[in-house]
Amino acid sequence: SQQGEEDPQALSIQEGENATMNCSYKTSINNLQWYRQNSGRGLVHLILIRSNEREKHSGRLRVTLDTSKKSSSLLITASRAADTASYFCATDSTGYSTLTFGKGTMLLVSP
Amino acid sequence: DAGVTQSPTHLIKTRGQHVTLRCSPISGHKSVSWYQQVLGQGPQFIFQYYEKEERGRGNFPDRFSARQFPNYSSELNVNALLLGDSALYLCASSPRTANYGYTFGSGTRLTVV
């Protein structure tokens, strides 16, 4: 079963624009992670935010976490064509890094 | 430093057969997990091993089994293959189990015909 639900399912933007993806989940969590996947291959870890954190930055990425609403958002600023990929949120409810993934958001960045 | 390596990259099997997938974690990583990703879906957790002990098991039938070796590499075994087992099987490693992001391998694409 999948705990996280990403929104939107697909997003199409132009290079230079910002991309925002949202994730909702159902149960309490230890941390929430975002991953990127290119062309159905391996996932790349982007960022981890713990349940006691509200915001985290990494380069052009900004992640927020609202545990009261059980939701998170991933913002990619100044998007590039190379950002084209599927993005997944994954929740760790156990504290042992057993991740539950959502279905993902497909991001298309056009030059 | 080599990343997480999985073998084989692609595999075609017939229904009812058995398959073994292999994974070598990043050097020094003691935690290995397996995920199944069906086309169009997010990965689903199958197993987690840490220090050669099973630490977690997802909602998969007993046809699925795994183990971790003293060098922390791991095998995923699937018996009596069904068409529905066709998927990308992903292995991921991390230094330990708590509050660490995973490094994923490129996966093994299994097709059951």
Would you call B20 helix, strand, or coil by DSSP?
strand
What is the pLDDT, as a whole number, of residue A67? Answer: 96
Question: Which residues, including other chains, have CB under 8 Å from residue A3's CB and lie 6 or more apart?
Answer: A25, A26, A27, A91, A93, A100, A102
DSSP-assigned letters across all residues of A36-76: EESTTS-EEEEEEEETT--EEEETTEEEEEETTTTEEEEEE
Binding-face residues of B in 1-60 toward A, CB within 8 A = 4, 31, 33, 35, 37, 39-45, 48, 50, 55-56, 58-59
- The pLDDT tens digits along chain A (111 residues) read 456 688 899 999 999 999 999 999 999 999 999 999 998 788 999 999 999 999 999 999 999 999 999 999 999 999 999 999 999 999 998 767 789 999 999 999 999
Binding-face residues of A in 35-74 toward B, CB within 8 A = 35, 40-45, 47-48, 50
What is the pLDDT, as a whole number, of residue B110? Answer: 98
What is the pLDDT, as a whole number, of residue A53? Answer: 97
Q: Is residue B113 scored above 90 in pLDDT?
A: yes
Inter-chain residue contact A99 with B103, CB threshold 8 Å: no
Task: For chain B, say whether A105 makes contact (Cβ under 8 Å).
Answer: no
Q: Amino acid letter at B61?
A: P
- Distance between CA B99 and CA A27 in Å, rounded? 17
The answer to whether B95 and B101 have CB atoms below 8 angstroms apart is no
Q: Is residue B1 scored above 70 in pLDDT?
A: no
Using an 8 Å CB-CB cutoff, list chain B residues near A45: 101-104
What is the pLDDT, as a whole number, of residue B97? Answer: 65
Q: For residue range B42-82, what is the model confidence (pLDDT) as tens digits?
A: 999 999 999 999 999 999 999 999 999 999 999 999 999 99
Report residue B107 CA to chain centroid gap.
Answer: 8
Inter-chain residue contact B40 with A103, CB threshold 8 Å: yes
Inter-chain residue contact B56 with A1, CB threshold 8 Å: no
Residue B62, token pair as written in the block: 């007993």
Percent composition of chain B: helix, strand, coil (DSSP 3-state, to 5): 5, 50, 45
